[in-house]
Amino acid sequence: MISLIFNQIIKLSATTSIIKSHIQEMEKLVSSWCKNKPLPESYIFPPETRPGNLVVPTCNTIPVIDLNKAEGQNRTHIVQQILKAGQEYGFFQVVNHGVPENLMNESMDVFKEFFEMPWEDKAMLYSEDPKNSCRLSTSSVNYAREKIHHWRDNLRHPCHPLQDCIKHWPQKPVRYREVVATYTIEAKKLGLRILELVSEGLGLESRYFGDKLSESEILSINHYPPCPDPSLTLGVAKHCDPNLLTLLHQGDVSGL
């Protein structure tokens, strides 16, 4: 009996330590402390890299690809449009892509709900270990080593194969898994569709990217809380995605 009680005390103590550790980690999230607070020094970038001082060339038009036209006699023209956009811009906007607008909106609502949840509902997901498959983090994977932090929180997890990945996803909001599963399935279909057109333009078999090269699918959700002075900080630094293809839903955050 004494041994049993002793073991329970040890387990309770260990659990308490874990909870305290997660509370301390969660306090790093921008969304946990930023409300009505001035911008901390650790988020202020040097003058030469601040958004307010950057000279960004304007562009009146960006390539817009209508994927509906890729199913008819204009397919070759659409393929050439995609290749030209990739060569001259490195990105393009797609319209008539087949992902239902109500599904995109519902997914964005679920993501917003997740970040607005109380810390105790998402504390166990916080991790600075990039090896964790589903992790909630802040700034970047270099948070502990970087001198200046980025103004963002991030949720990231794999999506394929779905039956293996979904059990590691957030359990709250309660509709997260159902909605996001449907969303990622549609997004993967869209990605494969675009890669098929790219393959044709490069003179490859249409399914060239359709196997192992596009097997992995990662969902990364950036959350940018309202900032007291956006001219002094950055949400994400300039970078190149190390992926075959990135599908980006900008949402209501300007900046691209």
pLDDT tens digits, 196-219: 999 999 999 988 998 788 889 999
Highest mean pLDDT among 32-36, 61-65, 186-190: 186-190
In a domain, 68, yes or no: yes
CA of 123: how far to CAs of 16, 20, 84, 115, in Å?
Answer: 13, 10, 45, 11
Domain for residue 251, yes or no? no
Contacts of 208 by beta carbon, 8 Å cutoff, 6+ apart: 195, 199, 202
Domains contained in the chain, number: 1
| 152 found inside a domain | no
Q: pLDDT tens across 66-103, in order?
A: 999 998 899 999 999 999 999 999 899 999 999 999 99
The set of residues, in sequence order, having a beta carbon less than 8 Å from that of 146 and lying 6+ positions away, is 139, 140
> Does 147 fall in a domain?
no
Residue 126 is classified by DSSP as: B
Report the candidate in 174, 165, 152 with the shortest Cα–Cα distance to residue 251.
152
Task: Flag whether pLDDT at 233 surpasses 50.
Answer: yes
Assign 214 to helix, strand or coil.
Answer: helix
- Residue 36 domain-assigned (yes or no): no
Query: What's the average model confidence in pLDDT over 155-159?
Result: 96
> In terms of residue numbers, what domain contains 81?
61-96
Distance CA 12, CA 223 (A): 34
Whether 139 is covered by a domain: the verdict is no
> At residue 1, does pLDDT exceed 50?
no
pLDDT band at residue 145, thresholds of 50, 70 and 90?
very high
Say what the pLDDT of residue 76 is.
Answer: 95
Q: Looking at the domain assignment, is residue 158 inside a domain?
A: no
pLDDT(12) > 90: no
Note whether residue 84 is domain-resident: yes
53 Cβ contact partners less than 8 Å away, ≥ 6 residues apart? 47
Q: What percent of the chain has pLDDT over 90?
A: 66
